[in-house]
Structure formats: C-alpha cells, structure tokens
Structure 1
Amino acid sequence: MSTIPTTGEKTAATVAKNYLRQFKGWQLISLRVNDSDPRATDQEQLEHTRAISELKARQHIVTAVGKVDQASGIILDQRFIKRRRTKTTLAELAANHYQITEGNFYHRQRKALLMAYKLMH
C-alpha cells in the first residue's frame, strides 16, 4: 500500500524532485532586485518577495526532512538544492558518517523525495 494517498510513489517523487529543483530559478529571481534599491518597480519588489518566500519554503522542507532523517536531508540538499552529482553527494554523506552504497543511494533518494512530498501537501 502506498504511503502517498493521492498519487503513486513514482509520481510523488517526481513532483517533489521538480519542486526542489526550482530552487535555483527562484534564487536567480531573488538576486535580480536588491532590497534597498529605490529604483525597483513594485512588480520587481513583488517578484523578489515571492522568490524569497519560495526559497524559504524549499529550505524549510529540506530542513524538516533532515530533522527526521539527517541522511535524507543531506541527499535533498546536495542533489536538488545545490545540484551536486551522485558521487559528490555520496562523499558528503561519508563525511557525515553515512556509508551508503551507490546502489542503495537511489532508494534513499526516493525515500527522501517521498518525505519531502508529504511535507509539501
């Protein structure tokens, strides 16, 4: 039985992955306008504020997952926020005393994405 009531696990993991990957785009939008720029239009300020809110929402999800399972939080942060490769993420996990094989890594990544999906809804 699926732990995700509204959709299949594969779809839920994909939705969470896409949501977290949007971090970089929101980060770029947030950098367009400086908070103290008096020349910024209202629309630019609104976009900046929304971008900051979206960034915080994604960071909050990664932090919340990390509190439940630190390895899952590291995986989400490295893979989808910082956009690091699998080998780099495995090295970061090893630096935090998590010895995960590459074969088991994808299972753990899916678990982390499902945890993130639950927090998104």
Structure 2
Amino acid sequence: DPSGLEHWRLAAQELLDHREGKDLLQGVSFEYLDFEAHPAFRSFLRRYPKGCTWGAAGKAIVARVVCHLVLPPSVDRVISIDLGDILVLDDIKKLWDLGHRMEDHHLLAASHAVSLHHINGQLPN
C-alpha cells in the first residue's frame, strides 16, 4: 500500500544516508513497482473466482507468486522475503546462489522455522 511503500523508501534512504549503510548496500538497487496497477497483474486478478476476498495483504502475497508477470524481462531471478517476520542469519548470497541450480518452473519456500532460543537469550517463544 502507499503508506508501506513510503515507509520502505524512508528506511532505505536512511540506510543510504549513512556511510556504513552505503558500504553494506554497495551493488544493491531498490526499484518500486505498483503491481496492482500493472496490466498483467490486473488481468490475473480478473481470472480469480468471483467473491474472492483479499484481506489486507492478500494481493501482495499473490504478487510474489506471479512476480514473473509484472517484473521487467531483464529480471531473471527474485528473492522475495516478508521482512516483517523473516530473520536472515547468514549471507543471503548463499540463497541467491541456489538460483543457479533451479529451473524456470522451480519455486523455493520456507515452510517451518526452528526455535530461536539461541538468538533471543533463551526466552520462551
């Protein structure tokens, strides 16, 4: 939604405004796409069953699955992460490199997370 996008832009800019952030994000680019306005996404939604309700994040979740319809042809791989509840504890490049072994029809998803007692100071979940 527009508010979430604006918060994301501000957070990214805050990182880029600091020297450490610039170093960490070297080679990283941020591009913003209004997927709900994209003709291919709108066409996809029209084919959904009548009466389908989306909820607050429903369309954003669907957009991740059909991102190949809305991203430019120059984009050949995507890592889509729900930043609200995903914690990356290692170099994400390892995940990116898995993409070289995947074929066009492959999809990788995390279905279960282990307890993070070692991260949260042994506090119960």
Give TM class, smaller chain: under 0.3
Q: TM-score w.r.t. structure 1 length? A: 0.27
With a CA cutoff of 8 Å and minimum separation of 6, indicate the structure with the bigger relative contact order.
1
Structure index of larger Rg: 2
Q: TM-score w.r.t. structure 2 length? A: 0.26
Q: Whose helix proportion is higher, 1 or 2?
A: 1
